[in-house]
Amino acid sequence: MAIRAFSLVLIWLLLSTPCSGFEPVSGYAFLGEETRAMQDDEFENPGMFVVEQGAALFNEKRVDEEHACGSCHGEHGEGLDKSSIAAYPVVDDNLGGVVTLQGRINYCWEIRMDRFPHEYDHPELIALETFVRNLALGQTIAVETGGPVAELLEQAEVIYNTRYGQLDMSCHQCHDQHRGQMLRGQLLSQGQANGFPEYRLGQGRVVSLHQRLRECFISFRADPFEPGSIEFKLLELYLMRRANGLKIETPAVRH
């Protein structure tokens, strides 16, 4: 109990610093010992089931198909660059601007594999995204901030700071202004995105970042943007840039 109390005090001190001195703190810091142990043990982490599903899809050859994702990138994804995975979202004008990791996977699914593209957040895409991001587990997030990304980050910050819904709430209010304070019996975290796709204990399933953003909008009684919309892509770009320096934890376990 004493160690737990000390940890909470330390988190509060870290999170209570002015935003100008922002230091990213993973949601892992807010977990109890049992939940941390669950996340850390790949045999106990319930999200690893989706990683396995993604691995199967990664190597699946469908009827009349010669190649699978693994044909290019290796059966276990060993041909993929972990640092590149940790840099998503990226900006690629040839692919329409902001490209999330899930969007890139769907592009390859359609163009390279010649398969019918999925809608954003299709279960197969979430499984593939979870598998691919898990390959970079422990890699430091390093989203680009300069060049053409800088202007997009400014647009994204406007969305992050805009109040929505009947409760007139913004992402900034919860995760910046009131970070470290209690809400409904829980300590408000920074809302970091370094664990997505993540396993939500309260829902019993793995959710993508866009799905979680929809849930946040609904919680303050606002009409959410659609998964894969430019607004949510910009928010993902902003949130992942905000997580620069943190380690990838996919699939993280959260309440």
Q: Can you say how many angstroms the Cα of residue 51 is from the centroid of all Cα atoms in its chain?
A: 14
Q: Can you say how many angstroms the Cα of residue 151 is from the centroid of all Cα atoms in its chain?
A: 22
Pick from 253, 205, 247: which is nearest to 40 by CA?
253
Pick from 197, 223, 70, 47: which is nearest to 121 by CA?
197
How big, in percent rounded to 5, are the helix, strand and coil portions of the chain?
50, 10, 45
Pick from 254, 227, 226: which is nearest to 123 by CA?
227
Dist. CA 233–CA 90, nearest whole Å:
10
First to last CA, the chain: 20
Active-site choice (69, 171, 174, 216): 216
Pick from 206, 133, 209: which is nearest to 171 by CA?
209
The answer to whether 216 is a known catalytic residue is: yes
Pick from 233, 194, 195: which is nearest to 213 by CA?
233
Dist. CA 96–CA 74, nearest whole Å:
27
Q: List active site positions.
A: 216
